[in-house]
Amino acid sequence: MTTEAESGAVPMVKADRVHKNFGALKVLKGISLEVGRGEVLCLVGPSGSGKSTFLRCINHLEKVNAGRLYVDGDLVGYRQKGGKIYELKPREAAKQRRDIGMVFQHFNLFPHRTAMENVIEAPTQVKGVGKKAATERAMELLDRVGLVDKAGAYPAQLSGGQQQRVAIARALAMEPKLMLFDEPTSALDPELVGEVLAVMRGLAAAGMTMLVVTHEMGFAREVADQLVFMDAGVVVEAGQPKQVLNDPQHERTKLFLSKLL
């Protein structure tokens, strides 16, 4: 990595006029934004506005149709040579994706594996970490998310909030430089939301760079450095959370927030 990147001058995430189409449907229409190292950016907006698709483009689960996405100064999913870009081979893209943790709305845990086994799966199988070291690290992470006593439990024996916290520990086990959260609390019963948000607050306080698609405006107000309101595939409004939430400048933002706040 360059000296500039090491100094923190290179943003952790940079989107430059990103477009994404599904056939004739234009889902992202020129998204441009930056997220600095250690920052938390919350994406809010109505369903279908492109928020989740944008997250999936960041780790190349979806391929962009135009524009550029960079993580830590590196072009995501492509390499540039002689003014042209070439898509990375699947193995190269997968290697790049290791540095980006993602937590989904639905927990996607392996049902036949314990919490511990879910957390050590990727480090041992993908990174070749020894089982002893991976297990020690997994215990640290399960302790961090308040579930060290559930290491031997299977997903069916855990509440939704507990499963989501295991999913967070699993993502952290790969030592990511960036964490993406796609509506991590929307599938949870209301009384379980707080325990997941508490873990995310801890990550933010520890300096993890995070992009969070959420409808939890209290969390966004308290934790985010930037709040971005998206609608119909574009960034309508962006700024500091208190400014956007307390004094939105666009009518579309005002209408959306009036139904939530």
What digits encode the pLDDT tens for the residues 185-240?
998 988 899 999 999 999 999 999 999 999 999 999 999 999 999 999 999 999 99
pLDDT category, 6, cuts 50, 70, 90?
Answer: very low
What does the pLDDT read at residue 46? 94
What digits encode the pLDDT tens for the residues 36-94?
999 999 999 999 999 999 999 999 999 999 999 999 999 999 888 888 888 888 888 88
What does the pLDDT read at residue 7? 47
What digits encode the pLDDT tens for the residues 140-169?
999 999 999 999 999 999 999 999 999 999
What residues have CB less than 8 Å from 34, skipping those under 6 apart? 11, 13, 14, 15
Residues belonging to the chain: 261
Supply the pTM of this predicted model.
Answer: 0.92
CB 253 within 8 Å of CB 236: yes
Give the residue-averaged pLDDT of 105-124. 94
**Cα(217)–Cα(250) distance, rounded to whole angstroms?**
18
Burial of 70 (0-12, 13-18, 19+ CB in 10 A): middle
What does the pLDDT read at residue 1? 36
The values of phi and psi at residue 29, to 5°, are: -125, 55
DSSP state of 225: S
Does position 4 have pLDDT exceeding 60, yes or no? no
Give me the percent of the chain exceeding a pLDDT of 70: 97
pLDDT category, 8, cuts 50, 70, 90?
Answer: low
pLDDT category, 2, cuts 50, 70, 90?
Answer: very low
| pLDDT, averaged across the chain | 92
Does position 3 have pLDDT exceeding 90, yes or no? no
The values of phi and psi at residue 173, to 5°, are: -65, -20
What does the pLDDT read at residue 84? 84
Q: 3-class SS at 143?
A: helix
